[in-house]
């Protein structure tokens, strides 16, 4: 039984989670995929910075060292920022590797071309972690695409926004105070612009659009609002009427075949599938041609949820007969 | 491109749904699986009974005629009752077919042996439709089993019971009146015993236990209650306190490693993931080691939801390299 060799790009929270899970689940992964997975190398930006001990693993700050590993099978990408992440993944695919990413901005822009390149190269791309963290929305839509079709998607795709809206409603606290607590709890970044402006949810929605409909709408034509303009009075008024503001990313195919998308706060009632989703959870309601509306809910971020779906992605790719199809 | 030949056993609601979807989605299925699927034969109990027109399809009341079809690839089983369904599936596997079933009582009892037999025979079993209809709980757990693990499962697995409880709460109507409406709407069977006694949910729970934990608890040791003993007063009292009765099937591994399961009405509060699931919907909250609790919600029954996941199951099986693994 040959060993599968993997590299991790970026050794922050998610990268460390991948390393831990691959080691904690050695036997399970070997049993499920047919071969044990070994983390052969880790790419870091700064070699001097303290990091957890990783015995026997090449730790390098040069991506060339990663590409030089003989028979590398899988590259996990957990770097912040679009570049050099996208270029690294392209080079990894060219080198015959499966790639797994959590990078939503990069993937919203470059996902389609990375997937096409991977197909040509006989490898695969896993990107479950780019949308809704640990919630298996990508695989659910991939399966629905086999024999059903998606007519629309509505998602709570930014946990920070949902946490803030929940806190404003339940504790009648201001946007600023709720944001401050989200930052203290580690849900929001030091610069929370991408979260509260709606851009984070927008990027995830574009990834879902590409998967569900085979295309994205023109980015400039998608109305995008964050939760930063909602006042506490509006949230409280809604609550008194039994309604709730949710920050919803919505995409569907219009009657003329064009893709219609929007991102922003929406007032919904108790019959809406996203009404009950509180706190940092993410949720996606998938409207289908044959199976009504399916809703998946769960943790949209965090070290272990995100890292575990990335390792799962790798396992799914390793089970598939990619190389066979190419060499047959 | 060779055609995949399939047979449908049973031509009631679900069987007819499969026939329609396979025909409506001909190009899509061919593109996704690599070959078009053709319904070659349909097994009916009574040849004299009127049924929709199925041009060019062998319609027979003898299972031997189905087995005699050369190069049959897939058998869809949509017969009511444990037998002869189980025996037919065993014979279909022996003949080298993938099998797809919606038969929960049969699968709760015989699923493990059918799967083992299929593995030996180089074929596969699809059983997404046995639990929660169109809700993709089986595939979600199969994926979680790759790199994560399940610590517990709580499900609303019987749509009829959930419909009745919802109606009692929202409209303050009696159990008997709510049941009558469920029957009139076609949610409950003429004999609703399996629904309201909890046995239907119990069988689905046993299937989930086998999948998540690799084993089922002793059936006799699982406390099983239906909703038929709940009074309207109890439901109304709970509602006034902001609580709700849900009929919950629960399974988890106890501290000594034994499987603990129960089926019955449970009083839950607004923080519970199943609190907001109203009407005929099914929902399953999957507690995981790494990704917190993931909840999937959607239609638990119906012609198209059930039939579409069965066709999806077939597509998943046809994409996998079963025969290759056997002949290599």
Which of residues 239 through 258 in chain A touch B, CB cutoff 8 A?
none
Indicate the residue of B273, B292, B324 with minimum beta-carbon distance to A305. Answer: B292
> Rounded to whole angstroms, how far apart are CA atoms A284 and A278?
13
- Give the nearest partner residue to A316 out of B143, B148, B275, using CB atoms: B143
For the CA atoms of B50, B55, B60, B66, the dihedral, rounded to the nearest 10 degrees, stands at: -150
At B156 the pLDDT is 98
ipTM of the complex: 0.96
B132 touches chain A (CB under 8 A): no
| Mutation choice for A interface testing from B290, B305, B310 by most A CBs within 10 A | B290
Residue of A nearest to B136 (CA): A140
Output helix, strand, coil percentages for chain B, rounded to the nearest 5: 45, 20, 35
Checking if the pLDDT of A186 tops 90, the result is no
The Cα A10–Cα A65 span in angstroms is: 14
By Cβ distance, the residue of A149, A299, A312 closest to B292 is A299
pLDDT for residue B1 is more than 70: no
Beta-carbon separation of A291 and B311 below 8 A: no
Percent of chain B with pLDDT over 90: 92
Mean pLDDT (chain A) is 95
Average pLDDT over residues B135-162: 97
Q: Is B109 annotated as a binding residue?
A: no
The answer to whether the annotation marks B104 as part of a ligand binding site is yes
Give DSSP secondary structure letters for A182-248.
HHHTTSS-SS-HHHHTSHHHHHHHHHHHHHHHSS---GGGS-B--STT--HHHHHHHHHTT-EEEEE
> Side-chain half-sphere of A134: how many Cα atoms within 13 Å?
29
Which architecture, in CATH terms, is B4-133+304-327?
Answer: 3-Layer(aba) Sandwich (3.40)
pLDDT at A324 over 80: no
Is B294 within 8 Å of B286 (Cβ atoms)?
Answer: yes
Name chain A contacts of B29, Cβ cutoff 8 Å: 146-147
Instruction: Calculate how close chain A gets to B170, using CA atoms only, in Å.
Output: 13
> Which pLDDT band holds residue B322 (cuts at 50, 70, 90)?
low
pLDDT tens-place string over residues B17-37? 999 999 999 999 999 999 999
pLDDT tens sequence across A228-282: 889 999 999 999 999 999 999 999 999 999 999 999 999 999 999 999 999 999 9
Selected residues 134-153 of chain A with any CB under 8 Å from a CB in chain B: 134-136, 139-140, 143-149
What average pLDDT does the structure give for chain B?
95
Domain ranges of chain B: 4-133+304-327, 137-300
How many angstroms separate the CA of residue B27 from the nearest CA in chain A?
Answer: 10
Q: Do B298 and A321 touch (CB under 8 A)?
A: no
Nearest CA in chain A to B321: A321
A276 neighbourhood in chain B, CB within 8 Å:
270, 275-276
**Statement: residue B325 has pLDDT above 60:** no
User: What interhelical angle do B26-33 and B303-319 show, nearest 10?
Assistant: 30
pLDDT band at B2 (very low <50, low <70, confident <90, very high): confident
Among A28, A293, A299, whose Cβ lies nearest the Cβ of B291? A299
SS3 B262: strand
The DSSP 8-state label assigned to residue B224 in this structure reads B
In chain A, the largest separation of any two C-alpha atoms, in whole Å, equals 65
Tens digits of per-residue pLDDT, A127-163?
Answer: 999 999 999 999 999 999 999 999 999 999 999 999 9
CA-nearest residue to B325 within chain A is A321
Put simply, the chain A residues between 282 and 301 with a CB less than 8 A from any chain B CB are 288, 290-299
Contact B321 A316 (CB under 8 A): no
Under 8 Å between Cβ of A52 and A75: no
Residue in chain B lying closest to A306 (CA): B291
- B14 a known binding residue? yes
User: What's the confidence (pLDDT) of residue B151?
Assistant: 97
Q: Could you give the residue ranges of the DSSP H alpha helices within chain B? A: 13-24, 26-33, 63-67, 85-94, 104-121, 137-147, 159-171, 175-184, 193-196, 199-213, 232-240, 303-319, 322-327
CATH superfamily, domain at B137-300: Dihydrodipicolinate Reductase; domain 2 (3.30.360.10)
Q: Is A100 on the interface with B (CB under 8 A)?
A: no
Mean per-residue pLDDT for A79-85? Answer: 94
Return all residues near B144 (Cβ < 8 A) that are at least 6 apart.
A136, A312, B150, B286, B288, B291, B294
Q: What is the pLDDT of residue B328?
A: 36
């Amino acid at each position: 039984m040959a060993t599968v060799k993997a590299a991790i790009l970026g050794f922050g929270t998610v990268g460390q989670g991948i390393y831990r899970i691959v080691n904690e689940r050695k036997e399970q992964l070997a049993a499920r995929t047919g071969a044990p997975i070994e983390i052969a190398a880790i790419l870091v930006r700064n070699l001097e910075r303290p990091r957890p001990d990783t015995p026997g693993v090449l730790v390098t700050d040069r991506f060339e060292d990663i590409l030089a590993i003989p028979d590398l099978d899988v590259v996990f990408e957990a770097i912040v920022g679009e570049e050099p992440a996208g270029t690294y993944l392209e080079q990894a695919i060219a080198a015959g590797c499966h790639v797994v990413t959590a990078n939503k901005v990069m993937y919203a822009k470059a996902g389609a071309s990375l997937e096409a390149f991977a197909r040509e190269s006989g490898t695969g791309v896993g990107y479950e972690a780019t949308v809704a963290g640990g919630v298996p929305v990508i695989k659910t839509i991939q399966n629905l695409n086999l024999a059903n079709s998606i007519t629309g998607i509505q998602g709570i795709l930014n946990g920070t926004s949902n946490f803030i809206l929940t806190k404003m409603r339940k504790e009648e606290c201001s946007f600023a105070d709720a944001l401050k607590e989200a930052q203290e709890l580690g849900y929001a970044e030091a610069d929370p612009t991408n979260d509260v402006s709606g851009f984070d949810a927008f990027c995830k929605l574009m990834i879902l659009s590409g998967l569900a409909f085979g295309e994205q709408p023109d980015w400039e034509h998608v109305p995008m609002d964050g939760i930063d303009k909602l006042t506490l009075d509006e949230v409280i008024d809604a609550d008194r009427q039994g309604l709730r503001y949710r920050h919803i990313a919505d995409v569907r195919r219009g009657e003329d075949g064009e893709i219609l998308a929007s991102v922003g706060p929406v007032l919904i009632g108790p019959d809406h599938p996203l009404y009950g989703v509180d706190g940092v959870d993410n949720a996606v309601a998938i409207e289908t041609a044959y199976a009504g509306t399916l809703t998946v809910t769960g943790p949209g971020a965090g070290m272990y949820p995100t890292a575990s779906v990335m390792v799962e992605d790798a396992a799914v790719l390793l089970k598939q007969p990619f190389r066979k199809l190419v060499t047959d």
